[in-house]
């Protein structure tokens, strides 16, 4: 049943895990910083929503999955897609609208999709993918599998009907779906307390008789521990769960709102940046003696190289031909 939980002491960290989690978060951060640069240069068009600040949620949560488990996300999905294992070169090519992109250049930033790693997409309509996650959970049960589905979404979906319909169905039909609400306290420029009567989102689990829990979304180890527990249970007993990961986006909603400065104070943003998930894990790793300064520098260099390579790959990929307009419309 629903419960609030504050992790006092993060779980144990060894060198392999520290490098893996830090490497993934650093890759997502660098990838998106570069994507913002490419957007400013006009190489990326359309919408672009950065995940900077929230990396611990995608990385901590997906680190508990098997490769055949599923993840699905909203339009702020670069991080989830990369954390699930997609090739950064193909993600960048999709942002560039190029043929070698994950969706053949036809989807762009909000519509990454990668069957090869069971990433079931970025979705632009707020809340629309929550029932899709329930459908994926239904398919798993129907086919007798033991995979689980992680569904990431924002606090702005909670006051929509789809959230409640999906929660009811996964509870009623016992589907192995874990809903992870990334509560970054804003839906575009609207603060959560102006939109939700109940701002403790994990409490909605109680209504549907499923497990609910809040977790510090800036602490990758806390997310990993929390999601790891519910994933294990979902795999074993088909029990769904609702996790509220409390996090913060350091940038604005999208490139049209680069700093989010109109509806948040500079002090608030600066205060939240003190809890940068990458800095927190780095400090923890150094303190525990499982990371060295040299390890951190090597990780930074590796991700910078990988992102440069992704940009070169995207630049070299051709535009999709006009005939692509008529492909992938219907399933064969």
Ligand X SMILES: Cc1ncc(C[n+]2csc(CCOP(=O)(O)OP(=O)(O)O)c2C)c(N)n1
Interface positions with ligand X (CB under 6 A) = 76, 124-126, 154-157, 184, 186-188, 253
Select 35 or 187, whichever has its Cβ closest to ligand X.
Answer: 187
CA distance 96 to 258: 19
Residue 277 as a binder of Mg ion (CB under 5 A): the answer is: no
Residue 154 as a binder of Mg ion (CB under 5 A): the answer is: yes
- Placement of tokens 């995940």 in the chain: 51
Select 154 or 176, whichever has its Cβ closest to ligand X.
Answer: 154
Least Å distance between CB 271 and Mg ion? 18
Residue 171's CB is within 10 A of a number of other CB atoms, namely 21
**C-beta nearest to Mg ion: residue:** 154
**C-beta nearest to ligand X: residue:** 154
Least Å distance between CB 76 and Mg ion? 8
Residue 175 partner contact from ligand X, Mg ion, none using kind-dependent CB cut-offs of 5 to 8 Å: none
Residue 28: closest CA among 63, 1, 4, 3: 63
Least Å distance between CB 184 and Mg ion? 4
Select 112 or 299, whichever has its Cβ closest to ligand X.
Answer: 112
Select 124 or 135, whichever has its Cβ closest to ligand X.
Answer: 124
Ranges assigned E (strand) in the chain: 70-72, 149-154, 177-183, 186-187, 190-191, 211-216, 241-246
CA distance 11 to 87: 29
Q: Please pick, from the candidates 62, 64, 103, 184, the single residue that binds Mg ion as defined by CB under 5 A.
A: 184
211 φ, ψ to 5°?
-75, 135
- 41 CB contacts (<8 Å, ≥6 apart)? none
Least Å distance between CB 159 and ligand X? 10
Question: DSSP label at 187?
Answer: E
Helices 293-316/277-288 angle, 10° precision: 140
Q: Are strands 149-154 and 70-72 parallel, antiparallel or unpaired?
A: parallel
Residue 76 partner contact from Mg ion, ligand X, none using kind-dependent CB cut-offs of 5 to 8 Å: ligand X
Select 154 or 212, whichever has its Cβ closest to Mg ion.
Answer: 154
Residue 184: closest CA among 127, 253, 124: 253
Residue 129 partner contact from Mg ion, ligand X, none using kind-dependent CB cut-offs of 5 to 8 Å: none
Select 95 or 180, whichever has its Cβ closest to ligand X.
Answer: 180
Measured in whole angstroms, how far is the alpha carbon of residue 312 from the centre of its chain?
A: 25
Residue 282 as a binder of Mg ion (CB under 5 A): the answer is: no
CA distance 181 to 155: 6
Select 114 or 155, whichever has its Cβ closest to Mg ion.
Answer: 155
Least Å distance between CB 188 and ligand X? 4
Residues that bind Mg ion (CB under 5 A): 154-155, 184, 187
């Amino acid at each position: 049943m629903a419960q609030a939980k504050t992790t006092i002491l993060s779980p144990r960290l060894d060198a392999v895990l520290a490098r893996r989690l830090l490497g993934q978060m650093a890759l997502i951060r660098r990838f998106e910083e570069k994507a913002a640069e490419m957007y400013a240069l006009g190489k990326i068009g359309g919408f672009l929503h950065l995940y900077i600040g929230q990396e611990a949620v995608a990385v901590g949560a997906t680190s508990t999955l098997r490769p055949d488990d599923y993840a699905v996300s909203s339009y702020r999905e670069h991080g989830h897609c990369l954390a699930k294992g997609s090739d950064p070169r193909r993600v960048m090519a999709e942002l560039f609208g190029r043929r070698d992109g994950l969706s053949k250049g036809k989807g762009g930033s909000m519509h990454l999709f990668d069957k090869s790693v069971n990433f079931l997409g970025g979705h632009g309509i707020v809340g629309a993918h929550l029932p899709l996650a329930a459908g994926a959970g239904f398919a798993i049960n129907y086919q007798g599998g033991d995979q689980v589905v992680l569904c990431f979404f924002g606090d702005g979906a909670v006051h929509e009907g789809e959230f409640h319909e999906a929660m009811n169905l996964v509870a009623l039909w016992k589907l192995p779906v874990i809903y992870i609400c990334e509560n970054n306290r804003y839906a575009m420029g609207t603060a959560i307390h102006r939109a939700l009567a109940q701002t403790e989102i994990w409490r909605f689990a109680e209504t549907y008789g499923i497990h609910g829990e809040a977790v510090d979304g800036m602490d990758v180890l806390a997310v990993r521990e929390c999601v790891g527990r519910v994933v294990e249970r979902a795999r074993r007993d088909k029990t769904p769960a609702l996790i509220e990961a409390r996090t913060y986006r350091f940038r604005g909603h999208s490139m049209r709102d680069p700093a989010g400065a109109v509806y948040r104070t500079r002090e608030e943003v600066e205060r939240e940046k003190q809890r940068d998930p990458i800095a927190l894990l780095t400090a923890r790793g150094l303190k525990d003696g499982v990371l060295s300064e040299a390890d951190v520098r090597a990780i930074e260099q590796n991700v910078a190289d990988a992102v440069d390579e992704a940009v070169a790959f995207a630049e070299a990929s051709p535009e999709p031909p006009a005939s692509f307009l008529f492909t992938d419309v219907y399933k064969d």
